[in-house]
Amino acid sequence: MFGTGAQPQIVVVEPAKIELKRHRRKYAACELGQGKSFYFRGSDGRLNPRAQNLKTSIQLAEGIDDETWLYHLRKADYSRWFRDSVKDNRVAEEITKIEQDIKASAEESRGRIIEIIGKHYTASA
């Protein structure tokens, strides 16, 4: 208290333990911008559909051919996008485990990654 002669006290502020839902909604539905969007180009660069947010990324992932999907999976592009553009290391780590599973088919890995995105983002959007 000011002016009471009481000794100052040390206060330790801890970071919040819950993540704000508005940030999750932003990435799920709002446009990330061209520089932060994901582009499903494939190994030969013949495709170029742009996922400007997580909802669009799910829609495109569901329709992209297996060769293009696996090309990005094997290069760890999905986890890199979450780490660098979406800024979510926790989801990136979950996706990394799928990318490292060399036995996972396109269908299986796609389903698992879509499930992770849905669990962390679209369910709360």
The pLDDT tens digits of the residues spanning 48-58 come to 899 988 899 99
Q: CB-based burial of residue 1 (10 Å sphere; 0-12 exposed, 13-18 middle, 19+ buried)? A: exposed
What pLDDT sits at residue 6?
73
DSSP assignments along 22-59, one per residue: HHHHHHHHS---GGGSEE---TTS----EE-SHHHHHH
What pLDDT sits at residue 28?
55
Beta bridge partners of 48: none
What pLDDT sits at residue 113?
97
Domain residue extents for the chain: 21-124
Overall pTM surpassing 0.85 (yes/no): no
Question: What residue ranges of the chain have pLDDT lower than 70?
Answer: 1-4, 14-30, 122-125
